[in-house]
Amino acid sequence: MILKNFITLFERDLDKLIQEIESYSEEKNLWLIDGTISNSAGNLTLHLIGNLNNFIGKEIGGFDYTRNREFEFGAKDVPRQELVNEINNCKKRLIVSLEGMDISLVEKDYPLEVFGKKMTHCFFITHLYGHLNYHLGQINYHRRFLDKRI
């Protein structure tokens, strides 16, 4: 049940991420930064894709993936449609990974010590879901604040 709940929530909010990206009035505005807003919506999107592909797709699902955090925060002007395609690909990997996860792993240790200590799969997947929503909220605010000023 818990894995189905995670799938439902991640799928819903990755669809919301697509909706946010598609709601920008102009594609170039995805990459705006201003003052203390140092991460563009495009970079936050790339970061979320990299994060989920790495920690769920690769580590849980066994997908071949090499994370490039420098690209996540350094890339500029990746076309909107490419971002949407990558979100959809990430969503598919995430669903397959969680559907294929043995339920007995939920309370067992996640294979990496991401925060310098052991944590269960359930704890870390919950963290990843919160991380997605934290940045999804930032993207929503970015769009409402910077997209309309241009």
User: Can you spell out the DSSP letters for the chain?
Assistant: -HHHHHHHHHHHHHHHHHHHHHH-SSGGGGG--BTTB-S-HHHHHHHHHHHHIIIIIITTT-------HHHHHH-----HHHHHHHHHHHHHHHHHHHHTS-GGGTTSBPSS-TTSS--BHHHHHHHHHHHHHHHHHHHHHHIIIIITT-
Model pLDDT for residues 18-29, shown as the tens digit of each residue: 999 999 999 999
What pLDDT was estimated at residue 12? 98
Name the residue with tokens 């420098």. Answer: 70
What integer best gives the mean pLDDT of the chain?
A: 96
pLDDT at residue number 147: 85
Burial of 22 (0-12, 13-18, 19+ CB in 10 A): exposed
Q: Is the pLDDT of residue 16 over 70?
A: yes
Phi, psi of 37 (to 5 degrees): -85, 95
Angle at the Cα of 104 from the Cα atoms of 7 and 110, rounded to 5 degrees: 75
What is the model's pLDDT at position 72?
98
Task: Work out the pLDDT band at 148, boundaries 50, 70, 90.
Answer: confident
Per-residue pLDDT tens digits for 57-116: 999 999 999 999 999 999 999 999 999 999 999 999 999 999 999 999 999 999 999 999
pLDDT reading at 150 higher than 60? no
pTM, 2 dp = 0.96
Q: What's residue 149's pLDDT?
A: 58
Task: Answer whether residue 138 shows pLDDT above 70.
Answer: yes
